[in-house]
């Protein structure tokens, strides 16, 4: 089996004195799409940020391309992995095309100008993410869903063998979600290692080779989505009666007992008055 492009072992993260991750594992190989799933606040984004080198570890290890993350310099790390954040910072006045071109910066030497090849790579990334039509718009004028797709284009422009995307479909409509699913699956089929943090379990089951379930700061299961996202686990981790159905052709459904009455003490989301 190919060496993992990403290997996170027993990751521990403490924020403001509070343990947020206490034992999370995540492995992704070239050609593989790994979905990271779990309830709100479980630690998925923290795990993805730690795996991307954007969150300091209090324990455990992250290896990217077989090397310890702490030993990889920033510019080289940016050529090895692209990270599409859940909540990107949107600078005033920047055009979409220029934002995507920033994705090329890890490939430039200091003060080196963008080449024709860089511009072509940015155009390809915009085309693949379906954002060419917004190329001349300012980032601040985009809708939430349009902006998410632009963020994916920025990540693609990096041309890194490992792409991590934190909930890139959360603001997308059904058609745009399907297009994103196809794009991410296509990237994995092209040989990238893709890590997708996602809430939609039916989507995860349709596109992912494996799913890592995060619950209360730990990875509690890892394997083919159809195996790990069984009824008992959905009850145990999400506190809901639900069943995943997959026919093996990329068509999936999540049957949820929406009104079955979750005990308030069990609910992962508590709405306070
Ligand atoms: N900077 C921070 N300061 C304090 N707490 C934080 C900070 N960042 C994350 N947390 C807490 O860490 C926990 C895990 O957060 P994280 O964003 O990783 O969860 P998640 O699984 O991605 O959740 P969601 O599905 O809601 O996006 C949450 O309880 C969150 O409030």
Task: Give the tens place of pLDDT for each residue, 101-156.
Answer: 999 999 988 888 999 999 999 999 999 999 999 999 999 999 989 999 999 999 99
Q: Is the CB of 45 under 6 A from ligand 1?
A: yes
Nearest alpha-carbon partner for 123 in 147, 145, 104: 104
The predicted model gives 22-49 an average pLDDT of 98
CA of 12 to the centre of ligand 1 (A): 14
Best of 15, 26, 215 to mutate for ligand 1, by most ligand atoms within 8 A of CB?
15
Tens digit of pLDDT for each residue in 74-109?
Answer: 999 999 999 999 888 888 899 999 999 999 999 988
Q: Is the CB of 219 under 6 A from ligand 1?
A: no
Q: Which of 55-69, 84-98, 184-198, 233-247 has the lowest mean pLDDT?
A: 84-98
> What ligand 1 atom has the least distance to the C-alpha of 214?
21
Pairing of strands 162-166, 193-197: parallel
Is pLDDT of 263 > 70?
Answer: no
Q: Is the CB of 40 under 6 A from ligand 1?
A: yes
Best of 35, 42, 55 to mutate for ligand 1, by most ligand atoms within 8 A of CB?
42
Nearest alpha-carbon partner for 193 in 184, 201, 202, 182: 184
Residue 273's pLDDT band, with cuts at 50, 70 and 90, is very low
Tens digit of pLDDT for each residue in 5-22?
Answer: 999 999 999 999 999 999
> What rounded mean pLDDT belongs to the chain?
93
Is pLDDT of 270 > 50?
Answer: no
Alpha-carbon distance 156 to 199, whole Å?
22
CA–CA distance from 116 to each of 22, 111, 119, 152 (Å)? 46, 16, 5, 21
Alpha-carbon distance 124 to 60, whole Å?
37
pLDDT at 112: 87
Q: Is the CB of 249 under 6 A from ligand 1?
A: no
Alpha-carbon distance 246 to 204, whole Å?
11
Residue 3's pLDDT band, with cuts at 50, 70 and 90, is confident
> Which residue owns the Cα nearest ligand 1 atom 1?
15
CA–CA distance from 172 to each of 49, 89, 157, 176, 179 (Å)? 22, 18, 21, 6, 10
CA–CA distance from 187 to each of 31, 107, 136, 174, 270 (Å)? 8, 20, 26, 20, 37
The predicted model gives 194-205 an average pLDDT of 98
pLDDT at 248: 82
Alpha-carbon distance 200 to 179, whole Å?
15
Q: What percent of the chain has pLDDT over 90?
A: 86
């Amino acid at each position: 089996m190919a060496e993992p492009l990403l290997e996170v072992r027993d990751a521990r993260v403490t924020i403001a004195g509070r343990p947020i991750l206490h034992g999370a594992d995540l492995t992704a190989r070239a050609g593989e799409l790994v979905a990271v799933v779990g309830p709100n606040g479980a630690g998925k984004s923290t795990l993805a940020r730690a795996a991307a080198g954007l969150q300091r570890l209090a324990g455990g290890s992250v290896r990217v391309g077989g090397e310890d993350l702490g030993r990889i310099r920033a510019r080289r790390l940016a050529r090895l992995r692209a990270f599409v954040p859940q909540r990107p910072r949107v600078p005033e006045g920047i055009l979409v095309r220029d934002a995507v071109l920033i994705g090329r910066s890890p490939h430039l030497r200091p003060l080196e100008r963008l080449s024709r090849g860089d511009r072509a790579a940015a155009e390809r990334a915009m085309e693949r993410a379906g954002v060419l039509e917004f190329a001349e718009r300012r980032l601040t004028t985009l809708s939430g869903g349009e902006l998410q797709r632009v963020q994916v284009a920025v990540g693609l422009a990096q041309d890194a063998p490992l792409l991590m995307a934190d909930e890139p479909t959360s603001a997308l409509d059904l058609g745009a979600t399907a297009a994103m699913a196809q794009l991410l699956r296509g990237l994995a089929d092209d040989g990238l290692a893709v890590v997708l943090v996602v809430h939609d379990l039916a989507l995860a089951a349709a596109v992912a080779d494996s799913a890592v379930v995060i619950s209360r700061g730990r990875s509690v299961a890892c394997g083919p989505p159809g195996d790990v996202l069984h009824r008992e686990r959905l009850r145990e981790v999400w506190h809901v009666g639900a069943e995943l159905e997959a026919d093996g052709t990329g068509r999936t459904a999540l049957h949820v007992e929406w009104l079955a009455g979750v005990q308030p003490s069990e609910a992962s989301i508590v709405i306070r008055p």
